[in-house]
Chain A
Amino acid sequence: MLIEAGSLRDGDVVAADVCVLGAGAAGITLARALAGHRRTVSLIESGGLGPERDTQQLSDVTSVGVRYLPSRLRYFGGATNHWGGLCHVLDDEDFVPLPWIEHSGWPIHKADLEPHYERAFDILDIPARVTFADMERDTDVYPRLLATSAFEPMLWLQSAPTRMGQKYRQEIADSDRIRCYLHANAVELVPDAAAQRIVQARTRTIAGKSLAFAARHYIVSAGGVENPRLLLASDSVVPGGLGNRYDLVGRYFMEHVFMLAGWMFAVPPPGTKGFQEEYVQLRGPREHPGVSGGLFGFRATPPFRRQHRLLGFSINALASARPRDASVEAVEELLAQSATVDRKTGQRGRSLRLIVFGECGPNPKSRIYLGGELDALGQRKAVVDLQTTPSDRRTVEKGVHAFAVELARSGHGRVKVELPSEDTPLPMAGGHHLGTTRMSDDPTRGVTDPHGRVHGLANLYLAGGSLFTTGGFANPTLTIVALALRQADDIERAMDVVPPEIQPPSDP
């Protein structure tokens, strides 16, 4: 059921089994999954069914450190209303502690997420998990451009992109168990006097109406900036905010390096008919639904990362018009001279843009905190202090350079590297807000436990990218949905452990 919060009486208290704050990828997934367990859910959404300026402005932040304005959409469906749909699962090594990446290591393994990844594929309308090897098996003309000890080819998968607000709007509107309250802005989570469990989530409409939501379990799924913001703002009982005993809430804010890194001028091996980008672009989507049409890439192998102590990264190639640069002719000439190109075949080189997706190292100094400026609801705005680590840049520089050498060594191309100078920050343009309420077994090292439950609070969970301990290089939505599905199962199992002590419900 979709309910306008403004239609309720000021001061109403609404009860359900679970209160989910934020109706984006994680929140909608959790609400649907819990409803599937026959639980009643209050799904709280700050916005309406479409973008509205006054609501969107509630997300305004101040940027210090690396200039960064997080891209978010504050209405039903959240960031899935504008995401590109590019997907990839995290790699095994993204979950394990790596000695050369300080603060790395998730408290769960990839195997814990695997079954949920499979379900997430359905939710995001990705028909199948296709790998590079699958595609290669299906053709005898598919040349491996580059597969070395340092790099291995990879394919990106493509969601429609699924707009979860559109896809699930009717289902939620028709649901007996999910009541989605629109234009209800969470302003505080209220714990009991002992600060051991949440007893109420307070919300306010922009028009000034106050509503409270009571539940046996609370899940905050409002994104990597708003999740810590709400915890920090909930300080009426616990100074410094909820879950913040060790000053961890908002820290370890991570994005993704997302940047053009130069050109790849590639020449097909003699005797081959096709080329990777052609195959992926022309045959991939047709023969392998779900494969991203046009984006293939190369990721660093674990041994290469270990040898050079690098973060995760992938170098992706996007077919492009030939650059207006006479030096391309020169490079083509060099390739021809070196006899790796068979001139008789008439094969010409291809120009591709190189796009780097890079991991940002976890850094406690990179953080979200509350500033002094207030929003229209009188809530303190978030300050975003994005800080990079030296490894971020070193990974990109070493990665692109190594890729250039490996490609040249293979005899099939050359790379022109175009990276920003030392005094220019690397572009952080993924629009991914990760790590600000990271998971850990140890309360001194993470805000939540491995289930996403806030340490020290029996019935408060966080969901979404803020749980990530490290970000890998892959776009996070697929993992966010998989994590949410896993959490729904966890919460269902915990449902009867925590005794229900909720406020008496009122009829909305």
Chain B
Amino acid sequence: MQNLMVGRREMLKLFASAGSALLLVDGRDHAIFGARMHPDAPSDSTRHLALLGRRLAEGQPRLARGLASHVERQIALDGGRTTFASRAAAARRFFLRPDRLRREFDRGAVVSVGGWILARSEAAVCAWAHSFLARETQIA
């Protein structure tokens, strides 16, 4: 497992040098979408979500941190997934259920992310995806 983690970090380091750094430094949206280099690299869909998460973090950093932590805690409760893919899948499975989203829209639990009106849980998954990528690239 340790090897896998290192491998992911190495991958993320490459990813950061190739594109993610651009995302974090000069803000070019498309830079986050580099070529996948590792089976456990974040999927394009997760990177898309991370893009929205970055916008939330830029506009409402405290909220973004809180939402990301909430997702992280839920993943831990869900059995402490190890691979990124499994963690992302767990987050999506739990937070992006249609009934959950509909309930949030019903009661007005929404967040504006770069102008997009999203359910709070949608914003949370985006915030988590971004915080995860950002943390990993910084560690790397």
- What does the 1/0 interface line of B21-50 toward A look like (CB < 8 Å)? 000000001100100000000000100110
With contact pairs A338-B96, A339-B98 given, residues A327 and B52 touching in the complex (Cβ less than 8 Å):
yes
Contact B102 A416 (CB under 8 A): no
Separation of A408 and B106 alpha carbons in the complex (Å): 10
A376 at the interface (CB under 8 A from B): no
Separation of A414 and B125 alpha carbons in the complex (Å): 16
A59 at the interface (CB under 8 A from B): no
Range of interface residues on B (Cβ < 8 Å): 20 to 34
Contact B119 A408 (CB under 8 A): yes
CB distance from B24 to the nearest CB of A (A): 15
A337 at the interface (CB under 8 A from B): yes
Contacts of B115 on A, CB cut-off 8 Å? Answer: 262, 416-418
Contact A416 B114 (CB under 8 A): yes
Contact B118 A411 (CB under 8 A): no
CB distance from A70 to the nearest CB of B (A): 31
Contacts of B9 on A, CB cut-off 8 Å? Answer: none
With contact pairs A337-B92, A408-B105 given, residues A327 and B112 touching in the complex (Cβ less than 8 Å):
no
Separation of A354 and B108 alpha carbons in the complex (Å): 21
Contact A334 B105 (CB under 8 A): no
- Chain B, range 91-106, C-beta contacts under 8 Å to A: 92, 96-98, 101-102, 105-106
Contacts of B106 on A, CB cut-off 8 Å? Answer: 409
CB distance from B51 to the nearest CB of A (A): 5
Contacts of B45 on A, CB cut-off 8 Å? Answer: 333, 336-337
Which residue from A330, A339, A409 sits with its C-beta under 8 Å from B51? A330
Range of interface residues on A (Cβ < 8 Å): 20 to 34
Contacts of A417 on B, CB cut-off 8 Å? Answer: 112, 115-117
B122 at the interface (CB under 8 A from A): yes
Contacts of A8 on B, CB cut-off 8 Å? Answer: none
A322 at the interface (CB under 8 A from B): no
Separation of A405 and B115 alpha carbons in the complex (Å): 12
Contacts of B96 on A, CB cut-off 8 Å? Answer: 334, 337-339
Contact B49 A333 (CB under 8 A): yes
Residue of A with least CB distance to B103:
A409
Contact B98 A327 (CB under 8 A): no
Contact B48 A405 (CB under 8 A): no
- Chain A, range 408-432, C-beta contacts under 8 Å to B: 408-409, 411, 414-418
Residue of B with least CB distance to A332:
B48
Could you count the A-B residue pairs with CB atoms below 8 Å apart for me: how many are there? 79
With contact pairs A338-B96, A405-B105 given, residues A414 and B117 touching in the complex (Cβ less than 8 Å):
yes
Contacts of B97 on A, CB cut-off 8 Å? Answer: 338-339
- What does the 1/0 interface line of A398-412 toward B look like (CB < 8 Å)? 000100110011010
- What does the 1/0 interface line of B57-101 toward A look like (CB < 8 Å)? 000000000000000000000000000000000001000111001
Contacts of A414 on B, CB cut-off 8 Å? Answer: 116-118
Contact A334 B122 (CB under 8 A): yes
Contact A326 B30 (CB under 8 A): yes
B8 at the interface (CB under 8 A from A): no
B18 at the interface (CB under 8 A from A): no
Contacts of B108 on A, CB cut-off 8 Å? Answer: 405
Separation of A411 and B105 alpha carbons in the complex (Å): 10
B126 at the interface (CB under 8 A from A): yes
Contacts of A415 on B, CB cut-off 8 Å? Answer: 116-117
A379 at the interface (CB under 8 A from B): no
CB distance from B96 to the nearest CB of A (A): 4
Separation of A417 and B125 alpha carbons in the complex (Å): 20
Separation of A327 and B50 alpha carbons in the complex (Å): 10
CB distance from B122 to the nearest CB of A (A): 5
- Chain A, range 306-337, C-beta contacts under 8 Å to B: 325-327, 329-334, 336-337
Separation of A337 and B114 alpha carbons in the complex (Å): 20
CB distance from B102 to the nearest CB of A (A): 6
Contact A338 B98 (CB under 8 A): yes
Contacts of A331 on B, CB cut-off 8 Å? Answer: 52, 116, 118
Residue of A with least CB distance to B93:
A337
Contacts of B33 on A, CB cut-off 8 Å? Answer: 326
Contact A340 B116 (CB under 8 A): no
- What does the 1/0 interface line of A335-354 toward B look like (CB < 8 Å)? 01111100000000000000
Contacts of A409 on B, CB cut-off 8 Å? Answer: 102, 105-106
The contact sample of 23 A-B pairs, CB cut-off 8 A, is A326-B30, A326-B48, A326-B51, A327-B52, A327-B55, A327-B116, A330-B52, A332-B48, A333-B45, A333-B48, A333-B49, A334-B52, A334-B126, A338-B96, A338-B97, A338-B101, A339-B98, A404-B117, A405-B110, A411-B102, A415-B116, A416-B114, A417-B112
In the complex, given contacts A405-B110, A408-B110, A416-B117, what are 10 additional A-B residue pairs having Cβ atoms less than 8 angstroms apart? A326-B51, A334-B126, A401-B117, A404-B117, A405-B117, A408-B119, A409-B102, A416-B114, A417-B112, A417-B116
